[in-house]
Amino acid sequence: MTSLYVDTNTLNVGIGTRVPTHSLHIQGNAKLTGGFVDTNNQPVWIPASTLEWKPTTSPPALTLPAGGAFTTTTATSLYRYFGRELSYTPTISGLVTSQPTVTSQDYLLSLPYPIDSNMYPAATIVGELWLNVQSGLSSNTFKSYARTIPNNLSNVTLRALTGTTDESLSTILATSRITL
C-alpha cells in the first residue's frame, strides 16, 4: 500500500492509493480535528450521519403556553454538530398536569445549543418527531414537527400533523401522558 502519492500529470494527491481521482483522494479512514471551509472561509456542510452522537449537557424541556403544566418523567437527548449543522434527537415523556388556557398557542421545546439565526431568519420547519399521546385507555401516535422561532435561538415550537392539517399540542387534555 502506498502511504502518499502525487500524480505528476494531474497533481492529484493520493493517500493510501496510487490512482487518485480527485485533488485529494484518501483510501481508508481519515481523522479530522478541525473543520472544512470553502474558499470564502465558510463552514462546509458534511452529512451528520458520519459523525458520532453525543449526549447533551442539559436535557430537553417542554414549556407549555399559559395555564398549562407538564411534569417530566424522562428527558434525554443526543446531538451531532458540525460547522453550522446541528442534528438533535430528544426523548421526553411525562404528564400534562393542566391544559393551557389558550389552545391555539404552541408548546416550546428547548434546544441544547442556540441555532444560527442567520440560517433561519423566518419560521422554518427544522425537524420531524413522533408524538405518542395516551389518554385513559386510548393511545395515538402522530407525526409532529419542530419550527424555528425568529429571534428565539434556544427553542422551537412543536405542532402535530393530523391527516392533512397541523394542530397545536395545546389541545392535549390534562392527565394525558405524552412521549416525544
Q: Say if residue 66's pLDDT is above 60.
A: yes
Classify residue 129: in a domain, yes or no. Answer: yes
Q: Are 10 and 70 within one domain?
A: no
In which band, very low, low, confident or very high, does the pLDDT at 84 lie, cut at 50, 70 and 90?
low
Q: Are 83 and 132 within one domain?
A: yes
Range of the domain at 21: 1-30
Q: Are 25 and 58 within one domain?
A: no
User: Are residues 7 and 20 in contact, defined by beta-carbon separation less than 8 angstroms?
Assistant: yes
Per the model's pLDDT, the better-predicted residue between 164 and 118 turns out to be 164
Classify residue 49: in a domain, yes or no. Answer: no
**pTM exceeding 0.95:** no
Highest mean predicted confidence (pLDDT) among 25-39, 133-147, 153-167:
133-147
User: Are residues 169 and 144 in contact, defined by beta-carbon separation less than 8 angstroms?
Assistant: yes
Q: Are 122 and 77 within one domain?
A: yes
How far apart, in whole angstroms, are the C-alpha atoms of residue 74 and residue 180?
Answer: 10
Q: Are 93 and 127 within one domain?
A: yes
Return the SS3 of 50: helix
Classify residue 130: in a domain, yes or no. Answer: yes
* 153-162 per-residue burial string, b: 16 or more CB within 10 A, e: under 16: eebbbbbbee
Classify residue 58: in a domain, yes or no. Answer: yes
Classify residue 40: in a domain, yes or no. Answer: no
In which band, very low, low, confident or very high, does the pLDDT at 118 lie, cut at 50, 70 and 90?
confident
Quote the strand ranges of 36-176, DSSP E: 54-55, 62-63, 69-82, 85-98, 107-110, 125-135, 138-149, 152-162, 165-168
Domains held by the chain: number: 2
How far apart, in whole angstroms, are the C-alpha atoms of residue 41 and residue 43?
Answer: 7
